[in-house]
Amino acid sequence: MSQEQVVRIAQPGAAEVMQLELVEVGAPGPGEVRVRHAFCGLNYIDIYHRSGVYPLPMPSGLGMEASGIVEAVGEGVSHLAEGDRVAYASQPVGAYATARVMPARCVVRLPDGIGLDTGAAMMLKGLTVQYLLRKTVPQGGLQAGDTVLFHAAAGGVGLIACQWARHLGLKLIGTAGSDEKCELARQHGAAHVINYRREDFAARVKEHTEGRGVKVVYDSVGADTWAGSLACLSTFGLMVSFGNASGVVPPVSLASLSANSLYLTRPVLFAHLATRESTQAMADELFDVVSQGVVRIPIGQRYALAEVQQAHRELEARTTTGSGLLVI
């Protein structure tokens, strides 16, 4: 039993609701491990949890991604041992902490060549890109030479997607909110970039595809890009809505999909991480592309745990690039 620093909220709200508290952390039970954190990943889903877009039982911790060292292993856990370097992207929330006890099924050992900072920066974002580009694909799948549209291409998920898509031979059109962010996406492998704040991204996508549109749109922005994203799709195209950074998408009329016989899905990472086997298989593919140097994990921001309010304000303002970390 030890007292650990934990970021907690008593109610949903702005960044100020997050407070550092001392919490007793005990021994792991069956199927659990206790991890001493080195780094905690910052993700936009943390904003949704803190603000109440995705309701949590109160009071609550925050954070879904971290890396560190296994301190203790509960009964029935065979894939991890004390002293292992590990990382995870997992429910339940509570990664913003110096240490925690958690289910072992979504915790994986890090390969020797991947640092703890990279591990915390890549798990949730990298596994998201894995299930998007490898599992959430349009009718007939994706082949080398196909074109996809990826919004927020200069964010943590987006920069990984730019690189992984290039590795797969896909032509990724990326959108971002400034010329600097567009250039960053281009440097990481985007075939074309569009500054959506000063350009009509739907019109530009049609220009880049000679009027055909794209086979799939990966959209984490939400309300602001919804209508334009649908307009970018080719016949039988797939609309993948996986986030709400600009607000929740309003109720959708099925008739809006009928003009081009479009497909629509709202996937969630944690459905793909339901078992240890599926988690390990996805992580192995992520580790492979990172270890090869095919995908680099850019870390744009580092904050102390006590600076978590500032970290959330900058993330929410969408002024960050790449991945952000809380350094323990």
Which residues have a Cβ under 8 Å from the Cβ of 297 and sit 6 or more positions away? 118, 121, 122, 126, 160, 290, 322, 323
Q: What is the CA radius of gyration of the chain?
A: 20
Q: Which region among 26-30, 89-93, 182-186 has the lowest average model confidence (pLDDT)?
A: 89-93
Q: How far apart (Å, rounded) are the C-alpha atoms in residues 104 and 14?
A: 31
Asked if residue 38 and residue 157 are part of one domain, the reply reads: no
Q: How many CA atoms lie within 13 A of 220 on its CB side?
A: 24
13-21 average pLDDT score: 97
40-63 average pLDDT score: 94
Does any domain span residue 18? yes
Q: How far apart (Å, rounded) are the C-alpha atoms in residues 222 and 200?
A: 16
12-21 average pLDDT score: 97
Distances (CA, A) of 319 to 155, 302, 323: 9, 14, 12
Instruction: Tally helices (H) and strands (E) across the chain.
Output: 9, 16
Q: How far apart (Å, rounded) are the C-alpha atoms in residues 230 and 149?
A: 11
Does any domain span residue 131? no
Residue 245 has a pLDDT of 75
Asked if residue 119 and residue 199 are part of one domain, the reply reads: no
Asked if residue 247 and residue 152 are part of one domain, the reply reads: yes
Q: Tokens 């530009």 appear where?
A: 204
Asked if residue 206 and residue 192 are part of one domain, the reply reads: yes
Residue 265 has a pLDDT of 95
Residue 90 has a pLDDT of 83
pLDDT for 303-327, tens place per residue? 999 999 999 999 988 888 878 999 9
Residue 103 has a pLDDT of 95
Asked if residue 206 and residue 169 are part of one domain, the reply reads: yes
pLDDT for 219-242, tens place per residue? 998 888 899 999 999 999 999 999
42-62 average pLDDT score: 94
Does any domain span residue 7? yes
Asked if residue 247 and residue 148 are part of one domain, the reply reads: yes
Asked if residue 279 and residue 248 are part of one domain, the reply reads: no
Q: What is the mean pLDDT of the chain?
A: 94
Q: How confident is the model at residue 94 (pLDDT cuts 50, 70, 90)?
A: very high
Q: What percent of the chain has pLDDT over 70?
A: 100
Residue 108 has a pLDDT of 97
Residue 237 has a pLDDT of 96
Structural domain total, the chain: 2
Q: How confident is the model at residue 69 (pLDDT cuts 50, 70, 90)?
A: very high
Asked if residue 96 and residue 12 are part of one domain, the reply reads: yes
54-59 average pLDDT score: 94
11-23 average pLDDT score: 97
pLDDT at 50 over 80: yes
Among 215, 231, 266, residue at a domain's last position: 266
Residue 223 has a pLDDT of 84
Q: Tokens 């991945």 appear where?
A: 323
Question: What is the domain-level CATH number for residue 149?
Answer: 3.40.50.720
Asked if residue 98 and residue 13 are part of one domain, the reply reads: yes
Among 266, 298, 313, residue at a domain's last position: 266
Neighbours of 167 (CB within 10 A): 14
Q: How far apart (Å, rounded) are the C-alpha atoms in residues 227 and 256?
A: 9
pLDDT for 143-175, tens place per residue? 999 999 999 999 889 999 999 999 999 999 999
Q: Which region among 33-37, 203-207, 251-255 has the lowest average model confidence (pLDDT)?
A: 251-255
pLDDT for 278-311, tens place per residue? 999 999 999 999 999 999 998 989 999 999 999 9
Question: What is the domain-level CATH number for residue 301?
Answer: 3.90.180.10
**Model's pTM, two decimal places?**
0.91
Residue 247 has a pLDDT of 81
pLDDT at 118 over 80: yes
Among 243, 266, 289, residue at a domain's last position: 266
Does any domain span residue 132? no
* 107-109 vs 85-89, strand pairing mode: antiparallel
Asked if residue 257 and residue 147 are part of one domain, the reply reads: yes
Asked if residue 284 and residue 229 are part of one domain, the reply reads: no
Does any domain span residue 130? no
Residue 252 has a pLDDT of 83
Q: Which domain does 224 fall in, by range?
A: 137-266
Q: How far apart (Å, rounded) are the C-alpha atoms in residues 119 and 304?
A: 17
Asked if residue 164 and residue 217 are part of one domain, the reply reads: yes
Does any domain span residue 166? yes
